[in-house]
Each structure stands twice: as C-alpha cells, then as structure tokens.
Chain A
Amino acid sequence: MIIVNNRDKVEWKEGMTVQDLLDEMGYHFRLITVTVNDELVSKFDYGSFLLSDNAKVGVFHLAHGG
C-alpha cells in the first residue's frame, strides 16, 4: 500500500512508477513537487522512478487560486 500525503491510500502494484501513481490520483497539475520517503524526485524521473510497497509519497501542489 502506498500512502500519499499522509492520508490517501493507494494499492501498490509491481513496477509502479511515480507517474503511474500521479495518473491514478488524477494529479496532473503542472506546479507539483513529488517526494518519495522524503527524497525529492525530479519531474524528468516520474516515468522511471519505481515505487516500493509501503512508500510514503508526498505530492505537493503549489496553488493559491486567483
């Protein structure tokens, strides 16, 4: 099980990447920062960064409305 933002639970699958997780969450906002177990992940690595089971993922959206 992956824990996102200390709250949301997403079922882990073999070979799951950060991009897979973002797709599953519907997180496609441009100004986001992703951490996996507190380590920053470059946006260029979303498609290749493999998530391990029980990973703690932070997806920080920087948005403050209009």
Chain B
Amino acid sequence: MDTNKIKVIIDDKEVEVVRDTFLLKAIQAVGIHVPTLCHHKDLTPSGTCRLCIVEVENGGEMKLVTSCNYPVREEMKVYTQSDRVMKHRKLLGEMYLGRWPNVPAVQDIAKRCGATDKEKFRSELTDENPKACILCGHCVRACDEFIQERILDYAGRGIKRHLTMPFGEVDPHCIGCTSCAYTCPTGAIEIIDDINHPDNPKLIRDYGMRINAEMATLDKSQNRMREVGTATIVEVMDAYDLLPVHNFKFGCHPDTPKIDSAVLKAKYFTQNHPDGCWKGCSMACSKAVDGFELKTGPYEGQKVIVDGPEYENAGACANMGCFDGDFVVEWNFYCDTYGVDTISFGTTMAFVMECYENGVIDKNVTDGKALNFGAMDEAMECLHEMARGEGFGVEVGQGVRWLKNKWIKELSADADFLQDIGMEAKGLEYSEYMCKESLAQQAGYTLAVKGPQHDEAWLIFMDMVNNQIPSFEDKAEALYYYPLWRTWFSLHGLCKLIWNDVVPADNKTYKPQIAAKVPGHMEDFFKFYEGMFGEPIDEKSMLDQSARVHNLERIMIRMLGYGTRKEDIPPYRAVGPVTEEEYESRAEKYYDKQMKENIGIDPEGKTTQEKMKIVRKYRTEQYNKVVDAAYDRRGWNRNGVPKIDRLKELGIDLPELVEIIKDDQESRTFK
C-alpha cells in the first residue's frame, strides 16, 4: 500500500490526495466551491479570513478547520456545507459586508455565504470606498514571497490594524515590481507608473507575475535557485559524469562533495536573502559569502565579502583538481577582484597542470612551482602573479592557445598532444562541462559564434541522457533551434535562468521534444515582447529575427578572416579519450560499449591503443557528420559559410555582406 496517498471523503465524494496536501486543494479537486478572501493560489495560505472553514470528522470527533491551511495527514470525512459551517460563514459574510459594503469582491463573497444585510454590522469602521483595502494580506505575502522583500506589512492592532510601509512613509527599497497590485482583489493598490513606456505594461506585468508565482511556489521543489543558485548542479554534473575533472579527462570525482552545493550552503553562503543581478529579480540566484578571511594575496588576513561561488567556479576548481571549499571561495574572490574570468583561468590552469604532469613543462618554465593537479597554493600564486604582471602567471594569463603555440615552438612539445588536450576553440577556453559523450554538445560548443561557451546550446542531457535527439537530423535541428532561441532572448535582455531553471507545473504534460522548449515560458517571453513593442510574435518570426543576427555575426567573423569549418573543429579531448588512462577509466561504460554496439567491432583482445584509434576514427567521422547536418539546417555551406540564398530568405542579402562571403560560396567537402 502506498502510504503517501490518503483517502478523504468530501461531501460523499471520495478522493485520494498526497500527504500534506492542503484540504482546500482537495476540495477544489472534486469540484466543490468554498468561498475565500485571503486565499491566493500562488501564495502561502494564511487562514485569516476564516471563510474557507469546513467541518472535519476524524475518529468520531467533529471540528471546524480553515481548509486553506489544513494539511491532510490521515483519512477523514469533510463537510463543506453543514449547518454549523453555513452558520459561521453567513456570520462572517455579514461582518465583511458591514465593514466594506461596496467592495465587489466582498459583495460577491457575502452573496455566496447567504449574507445580504449590509446594516447588521455597520459601524464607525464602515468604509464606503468600493476599492477599500480589506486586509486580506495578499500584498504582504506577495511582497515577501514573489520578490523576497518586506516593503508592505500590517501595523496597529485590532480595529486599528492597517496596511503600511515602514513608519508610514514611502519606502525607497520598493522597486515597483507591482506584485502587490497584481494580487490585490479590490484595486486598493493601483499602478500609476509605466517606466520605459511599453506599449502594454499590463500584459508584461501579468506574464511577469506568472514567473514570480512559480519562483514562490515551485522553485523549492525544483532547482532551488533561490536557496543555492547555480551551484545546485555541481553534484548533478558529478552524478551524470559531466563535471570536468583534471582538464576534462574525467566526469566525476570522489571529492566532489567537498565543493558541492550542500557544503557551499552549510559552510559559506551567509546572507540567505535575495541577491539578484538586478534588484527586483524574483529568482535572485546570486549568493554571497560574508566575513571570509583571505589566506593569500594583497588582502591576506582581511575579511571580505565574496560574490558567489556559482557552478562554473566550482566546476573550474574540479577541473584543476582543487576540491576544497576555502580554495573555491578565495579563488573566486581574487578572480573577481582582478577582473579575471574564472572559466578561462580554470581551463587554462587545468591545461597547464596536465602539461606539467606529462613533462611538457617543468619548474624552469613555471618559476619553480610544482603545478600538479590539485596544487592549490601554486595555482593561487599564478593568479596573483598574473595580476602583478610578473612571473609565470603572466604567461598563464595569455590562455591555452598562446601557451600551446609557445611550447610547441620553444620547447619542441608534441604538437598533436597539445592540440588534443588544449581545451580551446576559436581562441576561447571551454566552459566547465564534459561534452565527450554528447555529439550534439560537441558541435554546440564549437559552432557557437564566440567559441566553446554553452550559452548558445547546452544539449548534453537531451542527447546523452534522454536520447531524445538520436539522429543527425535531430541533433542538427537542436543545433538550429536552441542557438537561435537563446540568441533571441539574450538580445531582448531576457534571462536563461528564468526560461528553464524553474518551469511551469504543467511542463511535464508535454512530450519531451516540446517540454524541452518550456512552452509556458516561451509564451511569457513572447508576451513580454508584445507588451513592449505592441506587436505579437510567434516561433517562426522569433527564429527569423534571431537568424538575421546569428548570420550577421557569422559573416562579421568571416570578415575578420575566421568563420569557416576549420575554426569549428574541437580539440579531440572534447570528442573522445586522448590518453590510455582516460580511455580505461570509462571503457566499460562508454568506449568498449560503443565499439561493440555502434561500430560493430569486438574490443576483446585489442590493446588500449588499438581501441583508442578505432574509437577516435569513428568519433571524428561522427563529429563531421553532425557538423555537416547542422550547416545544412542553418543554410550554410560545408565550409560553414552562410549561403547567399539563405541571406535572401532572411532579407539580409545586403551588398556589403554578400561581398564578404561571395568567394566562399563554392561547396566542397571539408574535413
């Protein structure tokens, strides 16, 4: 028997509910209407208006309870319209009507309760205003729960109770999010501001509030962005073999629990209140560490505030093999303070460490530092050197491509090996996700305009875990759609995190291919656009708008002498195992399995080197096939250059753009 489900009989209708479901929800689920004033579907129930009272029979005992905040924990019978209930409700209706006789919401409720006498409770408190505040508390809870502020609250007691900002003054901390007005049932709070003069501010507000409500009600059971921010995925990436470890050799590590979100929350995050990119973001996923005493560098011994850490910081530390919370926080602080990108530094340092461990470089190159994986003191010193403009740190600051070229030229390093393990493309270091087992993401990284950053496409779960884009055409479609969608909303100043780090409750009712797009939030974003500009937009128009920008970017890169297939080729480490150690660590789960099931070769009896060669050939061919398919879908030729016909389709076949790419139109096979 499933003890999670509890049987409830409501006015002779039987229903099974999940333990701790509030009774009102169960009542509504069987189609029975119970009047409410203080209840709001997106706010924590408060039980203050008392109108939702019902009679509950449990073990022969009858009692009146407010159903909105009564959690179901045992089998029971419920009576929503017993004589006792109706008598109480009518009395309440008369009292509300006596105090606010002209408020439509009160009149409606009173009628439902059978209360019609406006005079019975008329007194000096009676407020004739049809838009009077009825003290339901929606606004107080919305301010707290939607936007995590407490600008509005009650003051006074008993008959003097009223709604106010602190000390009765307009609080400058109010950012005008309008959550209070959105939830007010009487119109007592009105919006008179329309900053930026959007075409339809109400449309924007209404759809924005849907996201605010989801943050208040769903985030805690979904990604916990308010609680731990993007650090929530440190342990997820580790569990799914996607956390880059030791310069992207491995996808997980036994020491990950030392830097995961549980540790960061328990030991470091201090403020525990909203810290959004901008004041008013209802997700507010940024985190802060207060009073952190630095152990190194120019501020050694000082206590500082650290903004973060987030997933990429922890991921970069895993990549360097530095599994220590103090290191993550201090390194995060100094990268921010020096203006250094944590991803580029982390990925570059991971490359340096692998080169050091393989004898490509030694202490003569590193100014005496033993830069093995996990060398926290030495990695930190490199960061300080970089900022001071001295020593080996300055060279690290030039990035992976520069170091590869220097060491090949000056140290006669093995160029093939450095090319294989140097995790950069287009001169940019890879962000902190392992893409070896996801063909779509390999191309998602390298086809991104700026280089291997994941903000155009993050397809790993769709591809590697869900297997929802199995064919080359499926992957190409994802490599067409998602970069355009992400480019589109970024262009409009909309955030990826509210797109799919919290999702509407009904999202799981869609088939996976649709669910992945989060249709509810696409609608929200389209309505923001419409509310701002005054014209509706649909998916096709969105894709075309974005494709104009995307193709223009690709042509501009071509103008600079890049933007062809050879710049879209990843280092092999992003595609498959470079070293024997790497192959063997994941042989059973991925590589031998792939040989047997996909390539059709029995790995039995073969040396690791032989197997690596077979897998490499196969994976390289697969990569090229997916790139071909993605280029085709985007309307680019096999050299990755937009076709002039595609520019015509998009209406951007301007002579100055055609001039840049006209000599690249010949379609050949490029490998």
Contact = CB atoms under 8 A, between A and B. Distances in A.
B592 interface: no
A44 B500 contact: no
Contacts of A44: 4-5, 18
B467 A40 contact: no
B454 A58 contact: no
A30 B458 CA distance: 18
Contacts of A31: 222-223, 503
Given A30-B221, A31-B223, A33-B515, A61 B2 contact: no
A48 B2 contact: yes
User: Which residue, of B222, B466, B482, has the highest number of chain A Cβ atoms within 10 A?
Assistant: B466
B239 interface: yes
Contact of A62 (B433, B455, B515): B515
B223 A30 contact: yes
Nearest to B237: A65
Contacts of B470: 6-7
A5 B465 CA distance: 8
Contacts of A58: 512
Interface in A1-15: 5-8
Question: How big is chain B's contact interface, by range?
Answer: 35 or more
Nearest to A48: B2
B437 interface: no
B467 A6 contact: yes
A51 to B, nearest CB: 15
B460 A65 contact: yes
Given A29-B236, A30-B221, A48-B4, A64 B496 contact: yes
Interface in B476-521: 482, 496, 499-500, 503, 507-509, 512, 515-516, 518
B311 interface: yes
Contacts of B223: 30-31
Contacts, number: 83
A45 B499 CA distance: 27
User: Which residue, of B433, B468, B499, B518, has the highest number of chain A Cβ atoms within 10 A?
Assistant: B468
B330 interface: no
Given A30-B221, A66-B230, A66-B312, A61 B433 contact: no
Interface in B306-328: 310-312
Given A6-B470, A30-B222, A65 B512 contact: no
Contacts of B515: 33, 60, 62
Contacts of B670: none
A66 B311 contact: yes
Interface in B426-457: 431, 433, 454-455
Nearest to B310: A66
A31 B507 CA distance: 10
A66 B461 CA distance: 13
A40 to B, nearest CB: 7
Contacts of B512: 33, 58, 60
B371 to A, nearest CB: 27
Contacts of B240: 26, 29
B458 A26 contact: no
Contacts of A64: 458-459, 461, 482, 496, 499-500, 516
B2 A59 contact: no
A65 to B, nearest CB: 3
Contact of B466 (A28, A47, A48, A61): A61
A27 to B, nearest CB: 8
Contact of A66 (B458, B503, B508): B458
Contacts of A59: 465-466
Interface string A38-61: 001000110110000000001111
B225 to A, nearest CB: 11
A25 B497 CA distance: 27
B509 A40 contact: yes
Given A59-B466, A64-B496, 16 more contacts: A5-B466, A5-B468, A6-B467, A7-B467, A8-B467, A26-B240, A29-B239, A31-B223, A31-B503, A44-B5, A44-B18, A47-B4, A61-B461, A62-B503, A62-B516, A65-B458
8 contacts: A6-B467, A58-B512, A60-B468, A62-B461, A62-B500, A62-B518, A64-B461, A66-B230
Interface of B: 2, 4-5, 18, 221-224, 230, 233, 236, 239-240, 310-312, 431, 433, 454-455, 458-461, 465-468, 470, 482, 496, 499-500, 503, 507-509, 512, 515-516, 518
Please provide the 9 A-B residue pairs with the shortest distance between their CB atoms, ordered closest to farther. A65-B458, A48-B2, A33-B508, A5-B467, A60-B512, A63-B461, A61-B461, A64-B458, A7-B467
Interface of A: 5-8, 26, 28-31, 33, 40, 44-45, 47-48, 58-66
